[in-house]
A and B are shown apart, each in its own frame.
Chain A
Amino acid sequence: MPKAGSGVSLDGLGMPMWLTLELTYRCPLHCPWCSNPLDFDKYGNELSTEEWKKVLRDGRKMGSLQLGFTGGEPMLRDDIEELVGEAENLGYYTNLITSGIGLAPDRLKAMKKAGLKQIQLSLQSSDRDITNKLVGVDVYDQKLAVAHDIKAQGFPMVLNVPVCKQNISQTRDILKLAEELGVEYIEFANIQYYNWALVNRSELLPTREELEDAEEVVMEFRERLGNRMSIYFVIPDYFDKRPKACMNGWGAIHLTIAPDGAALPCQESRVIKNLEFPNVREHSLEWIWHESPVFNEFRGDKWMKEPCRSCDERDKDFGGCRCQAYLLTGDAANTDPVCAKSSMHDLIQTGVAEATDPRRIQRPLVLRRKGAITSDFLETAG
């Protein structure tokens, strides 16, 4: 990730350098931390191949460079090979972010031929039963087979491990597995507690001690493996005193297009219910990025309230995450409550205490399924 600078332009010079296409919300997995909306099934109106191609062309004209194909499960789109090919011709660096399901060897070959640059594969655990239970389908063996196929095709590969209570103690085994697979990058991704993950927060969030133990293992592997495998691991914002520099700032370098064509400053921003997200079916990408009210809403620092407004770190973390501020405090313009300077920081401390209390009453994980939860939850969370 580029380092944060100040003001609107940053490293992207005001361009949406990072373009993320959520090709579909459909997915064969039922992960309890899914970033898709709780009512994901209500967005059936996916963009057509031609509409996605237009997004690709317009994005490139505006300086988009890194391109992520994600979902849902992007392999459920049977036009993905065609879209990768188009993106490649336009000069993007193409990333596929996948569960691996549907990535059969013949499609992998087709993706290679289309010019796909790298594949990010999710891995939930080094244990078959835990994996299958977490995602609600028997996929572990298939995922490992796909991981081998990806390497056999010569793709650089990122293993993405969502860090949670259920897998944090397997850090060593997961790293060993990654080493055996010969992946170049492994990312221990902190679960972002929005949507499904927020519903399940108390059953997912690990303790500080567990995280510190895992970090020690990570450091041992980094020392031994050096350049052979990059290991991304950071302590999650819930255990920090300052918020993450979310998206390098709102509308700074990231542009996400949802399956139905809604343009979002980040993949989660749909959780902010009072924003009217512009749609690529109705507006030009140029207008959306530069002119639309949504993309200007939290751009720069004019929108900030105290304590952000007078904080000398506001150019560093941009006040943290707007979605987190909205979900936890009820106002997206508030300081991210992760910040110890926030008057509502106790919301985070309470959340951590709740999740890490060994005597808490455990609840079953709510897996991502149609109708499993109503989105009314979002309205009352603040």
Chain B
Amino acid sequence: MNETAAISGNDVVEINPMYFFRWEEPQQAYVLLYPEGVVKVNETAAAILKMCDGKRNTGQIVSELNDLYTTDVSESVYKFLEVSHAKGWIRRKS
């Protein structure tokens, strides 16, 4: 499997186990926690990350989000997944 290849519809992705993704009540936001770091993610990013559960493939994620937002969001979802992958937040499930 090529680490650096673009994320495709068949890829099943999950949150990198080095990261902790959860709702943080005081911040009223979802956060990604990692050694000595915090990333606050906005609502739409959180909606995507929540689906990176190691079960759905990215094609399913995109189609569920298209339904949720009742518009075609596929381009921005793939873009966000690429960024998340580059940052190491998510990884392909092996």
Contacts and interface: CB of A to CB of B under 8 A. Distances in A.
Interface of A: 1-2, 11, 13, 15, 17, 62-63, 65-66, 68, 93, 95, 117-118, 120, 156-158, 184-185, 226-227, 230
B16 to A, nearest CB: 9
Interface of B: 3-4, 18, 20, 24, 26-27, 31, 33-40, 86, 88
A90 B18 CA distance: 20
A184 B35 contact: yes
B35 A11 contact: no
Central interface residue in A13, A95, A158, A227, by most chain B CB within 10 Å: A227
Contacts of A95: 35-36
A66 B38 contact: yes
A65 B86 CA distance: 25
Nearest to A13: B27
Given A2-B40, A227-B88, 17 more contacts: A2-B39, A13-B27, A15-B27, A65-B24, A65-B33, A65-B38, A66-B36, A66-B37, A93-B33, A95-B35, A120-B35, A120-B36, A157-B35, A158-B35, A185-B35, A226-B3, A227-B86
A63 B35 contact: no
Contacts of B40: 2, 11
Contact of B38 (A2, A158, A185, A227): A2
A218 to B, nearest CB: 17
Contacts of B26: 13, 15, 62-63, 65
A95 B86 CA distance: 24
A156 B36 CA distance: 11
Nearest to B37: A1
A11 B37 CA distance: 12
Contacts of A227: 3, 86, 88
A54 B7 CA distance: 46
B88 A230 contact: yes
Contact of B35 (A17, A65, A156, A226): A156
Central interface residue in B3, B24, B26, by most chain A CB within 10 Å: B26
Shortest 4 CB-CB distances between A and B: which pairs?
A63-B26, A93-B33, A118-B35, A227-B88
Contacts of A230: 88
Contacts of B86: 227
Contacts of A157: 35
Contacts of B36: 1, 66, 68, 95, 120, 158
Nearest to A2: B38
A191 B37 CA distance: 20
Nearest to B24: A65
B40 to A, nearest CB: 6
A68 B86 CA distance: 27
Contacts of A120: 35-36
A28 B86 CA distance: 40
A226 B33 contact: no
Contacts of A13: 26-27
A95 B33 CA distance: 11
Nearest to A117: B20
7 contacts: A2-B37, A13-B27, A15-B26, A63-B26, A66-B37, A93-B20, A118-B35
A104 B26 CA distance: 36
A8 to B, nearest CB: 15
A11 B40 CA distance: 8
A267 B11 CA distance: 45
Contacts of B37: 1-2, 66
A17 B38 contact: yes
Contacts of A185: 35
Contacts of B24: 65
A62 B34 CA distance: 20
Central interface residue in A66, A93, A156, A158, by most chain B CB within 10 Å: A93
A65 B32 CA distance: 11
A2 B86 CA distance: 18
Contacts of A118: 34-35
B93 to A, nearest CB: 15
